[in-house]
Structure 1
Amino acid sequence: MLRRPENFGIPYQRADGRWVVPYRVAPNQWKPITIPKKEPVVGKRQALEWAAAKILNGRISGSIPKPRTTNDGPSVRELFERWMKLREPDEELSAATISNNKSHFKIHVLPELGDIAVKSFGTIDGQKKIAEFIRKLKGKAGRQTVNNVAATLRTFLDFTTSPEGDAILSENPLRKDWVRNLLPQRHKQDGRFATLDDAPLNVADVQKLLDGKGVPLGRAARYTLAFTSLLRDGEIAGLRVREAHLDAPIPFVEINKACSLRHRDGFAKLGPTKTPWSIRRLPLHAAAVAALRAWLDLGWEDLVGQLSKPDDPLFPRDDGGFARPPSAAFFRADLVSVGLSDKRAGTNLCFHDARGCGATWLVNANVESALVRRFLGHAPVGAAELRYFKGDLLAALGEAQKKIGLVWRR
């Protein structure tokens, strides 16, 4: 058992490999001691010994810079600034997550709770303010926005219970049952979500979309991948030409990366897939094979002005780089152009609905749920899928895919 000197917390290792030792400088006040990379420290014991030696030698002072405070300690606004300074360099967090954190606080949290002392959230009065904030937010924002803002605030308050957040709160009130009950719930009747018997679009509708003379070739080819291989928009945007194996015995596509809308390096940059399970090989439907051949033979060169190379994006912008077009807006415009509705139950359809349609068609065709999950890039369920389904399952996936009755007629 590791014995810790007085006033030292449990050491932990950051994502960049550096060890951090929490040190108590006052009641409920901690200073994180970060050990330089050059120090030959291995494990918690050596981290404690290094930090203790520095404290005893006076190399590290027993005080920390005080943030601007209210009468009852640091406010939400002040600790939010410190929280973001810790999160922004963390390469484990995506640019989209950081951007959402900032916008949730700037637009919703800080105007209502910014000048309130964080410490007060440990009291009944402070928790009433949280409840009032959530109720007010529900009155002006949609269900998903309310839940997303609450999730960001919950993560922030987790920080305030940690040594790096001065352990101001002993527990996070947003993890209480009363808060979960206060947040809006998803209802099965929500028109936005298809039932198994009522997909947003049926096969005949999508065939009409693919045949539409006003639908550009590149967009129609993208639709075949989304409806038959159930690829996400970012996965399609992240494909390279060499990753579409059109001449294989079972034609297939490799998904190894995704093109992110918001990336640390800028807009439309190649990055990791949404989850580890999203890295997969999927068969290409006959309609998709024909569509991709037409696109690579005719459309790609017309767009870029030169022949495609294996490492080029499969669906580039006009300068040959990776692209993230406004797929939802294009999808709705193309639906309207062929005489179809761009809404479901009064809500706009989006490109992501193509995955929902394809999954619904497969389930209604009695395709095994494990195969549908593999198409979607979702986590396996149960030991059989996790431990014993090895390899691509391309043959089984290909047979299932044939049940989607789309054809390429252009």
Structure 2
Amino acid sequence: MATFKQYEKKDGTKAWQFQAYLGIDPINGKPIKTTRRNFKTKKEAQLALSRLQVNFENGEYGKNKNYTFETVYQMWLEQHQNTVKPTTAENIEKRFKNQILPLLGDLKIEAINTYICQKAVNEWFKKVVAYQQIKSYASQVFNYAINNGIIKSNPMQRVIMPKKNGLQQKKVDFYSKEELQQFFDCIKKENNLKMLAFFRIAAFAGLRRGELSALTWSDIDFEKKRITVDKNLVLVRNEFTIQSPKTRSSNRTISLDETTLAILKKWRLKQRESLFYLGRKNSLNLIFTNSTGKTGVDFLYLTYGSNSLKYLSDKYGIRKIKLHDLRKTHASLLFEAGAEIKDVQERLGHSDIQTTYAVYIGVSKDREEKIANQFAKYVNF
């Protein structure tokens, strides 16, 4: 659809112009409308439009359009978010908003070279632990631009990746056997069965935060002494949702000890009594609940574990660790008890054995220091 019109120029001479709709931009999905002027004759304007239409049909139109990095990122995200979980998509958006777009967003993507990318990567390296992941996300946007004919090469692929030396590696933090016992002694003083059951599973089964909050009573097999982990509670745009576990290996069934099972039985009875007293129903059969909602029982806040740890640390003066560190504590004490790396990996649901190995190395270093002290004490000179 096009309109042709003759108009008068400033110098008094006449020329032709046209306005035309070419179609939908295959990259951003927006309609393409164009206006061209300064043709001597109507026939010349018609020929120019015909060339534009041919270029558009052949995919040549707009190849050199000056898209900013942020514009291409929005196009990429629209497609990419359909291939990942909502929580992953939300985390990716945060990475771009906080780290990538402040450095690259306003730049024309065609003008971004390896030097600019190297400066960005160096900046992420200084400030962010997951700098390699951030670089990977940015690189995916450049690859998307290549696939859609916006640029010819990916400048991020030629970046030299900085590396942290051994002293910069993140320290693996967990409780020792004695500290864990002290931790549970403090919990018992609280006379809080919910808190005791929550941290007992965290420390004695090594579950993640979302896995703990998603647990239902049907996940516990009291006869076979097992717990099945097959779901994960996540918060996506301020709404709770149940998803499949983090990775395929996170979907697992593991054994539970007698004491943990006994605590869970006591908590189940106490929970039923409390909900009956409040006039609430546990329709989702959740093990851990937040019963302060106006309409019924809600999912347990994902901050319950960290808030409780802070409370216990402040009240009793025990060393403060993160909830995830209890998972590492479980792994470290398994190693001290003689468990094999592969067995620990499967119990914790690690997809990468290097994650398990990092805890093993931390335990090995502690053992090595103890051995040295034991030797010196034995020889006694």
Name the TM-score, length of structure 2 as normaliser.
Answer: 0.68
Q: Distance in 2 between matches of 1:365 and 1:166?
A: 58
| Deviation of 1:333 (Å) | 2.5
| Structure 2 residue aligned with 1:156 | 141
In structure 1, the residue matched to 2:250 is: 278
Please state how far the C-alpha of 1:65 moved relative to its aligned partner. Answer: 11
Q: Can you give the 5+ residue segments of structure 2 that lack an aligned partner in the other structure?
A: 1-24, 30-52, 354-381
Q: 1:331 to 1:101 in 2, by over 3 A?
A: same
What pairs up with 1:9-408 in 2 under 5 angstroms?
31=26, 62=57, 73-88=66-81, 90=82, 92-121=83-112, 126-139=113-126, 141-144=127-130, 146-162=131-147, 165-166=148-149, 168-170=151-153, 172-176=154-158, 178-179=159-160, 181-182=161-162, 184-185=163-164, 187=166, 190=169, 192-194=171-173, 200-212=174-186, 213-214=189-190, 216-246=192-222, 248=223, 250-262=224-236, 267-299=239-271, 301-302=273-274, 305=278, 311-318=284-291, 319-326=296-303, 327-342=305-320, 349-379=321-351
CA offsets per residue over residues 225-279 of structure 1, 9 Å max, x none? 1111111111111111111122x1x31111111111327xx52211110111111
**CA–CA separation in structure 2 for the residues paired with 1:379 and 1:303:** 38
Task: Flag the 1:111–1:219 CA change in 2: closer, same or farther, 3 A.
Answer: same
Work out the CA distance in 1 between the residues paired with 2:211 and 2:150: 40
Structure 1 unaligned residues grouped into runs of 5+: 1-29, 35-57, 195-199, 343-348, 382-410
Across the aligned residues of Structure 1 and Structure 2, the Cα RMSD in angstroms comes to: 3.3
Q: In 2, Cα distance between the equivalents of 1:380 and 1:160? A: 31
Which AA in structure 2 matches 1:97?
A: T
Higher helix proportion, which one?
A: 2
Post-superposition shift, 1:286?
2.2
The one-letter code sitting in structure 2 at the alignment partner of 1:101 is I
Identity of counterpart residues, as a percentage? 18
- C-alpha distance in structure 2 between counterparts of 1:373 and 1:293, whole Å: 28
From the CA coordinates, give the structure whose radius of gyration is larger: 2
Structure with more relative contact order (C-alpha pairs < 8 Å, separation 6 or more):
1
Q: Cα offset for 1:87? A: 2.7
Deviation for aligned residue 1:153? 1.2
The CA deviation at 1:358 is: 0.8
Cα offset, 1:303, TM superposition:
5.6
Deviations 1:194-247 (A, max 9, x none): 4xxxxx21122222222322374222211111111111111111111111122x
Provide the rounded CA distance (Å) in 2 between the counterparts of 1:151 and 1:377: 25
CA drift of 1:95 comes to: 1.7
Q: 1:294 to 1:190 in 2, by over 3 A?
A: farther
